[in-house]
Copies of this chain bind each other. A is one copy, B any other.
Amino acid sequence: MRRDVFQAIADPTRREIINMIAHHPLNVNAVAENFEVSRTAIYKHIKMLTECGLVVITQFGRERYCEARLERLTEVSDWVEQYRRIWSERFENLENYLDELETKKKRPGKRK
């Protein structure tokens, strides 16, 4: 099953999990203990995070340590950053753009 990083970080619980293991790995139960929901629910979230590469699991005996692969967030970072320039420029141009559009199409100036 191919998972999407954007979808993975859409859920607040998963974002919290990432935050929790960002600095050091934790085993599955340790992660689950920090939430109200069941271990299985957390297990599923972690599974999804591994499916899109945001988390990698290393087993030690019966414990499985979850480690965050934060580099995978570059996909998100890149997507957002491509718009950064636009959103600075945009602010001053919007009104002009709409006025221009209005004139071109000969629409009444009234904006409801």
Count residues on chain A whose CB falls below 8 Å from chain B CBs: 43
Q: Whole-angstrom distance from the CB of A50 to the nearest CB of chain B?
A: 16
The 4 A-B pairs with the shortest beta carbon distances in the complex, nearest first, are: A70-B87, A10-B10, A70-B83, A7-B10
Which chain B residues lie closer than 8 Å to A101 at the CB level? 25, 60, 65
CA distance A83 to B94 in the complex (A): 33
Asked if A41 CB lies within 8 Å of chain B CBs, one says: no
Given contacts A23-B86, A77-B81, contact A102 B70 (CB under 8 A): no
Asked if A38 CB lies within 8 Å of chain B CBs, one says: no
10 new A-B contacts, CB < 8 A, other than A18-B83, A59-B112, A73-B87, are A4-B12, A23-B86, A25-B97, A25-B101, A58-B111, A59-B111, A67-B94, A68-B83, A70-B86, A80-B80
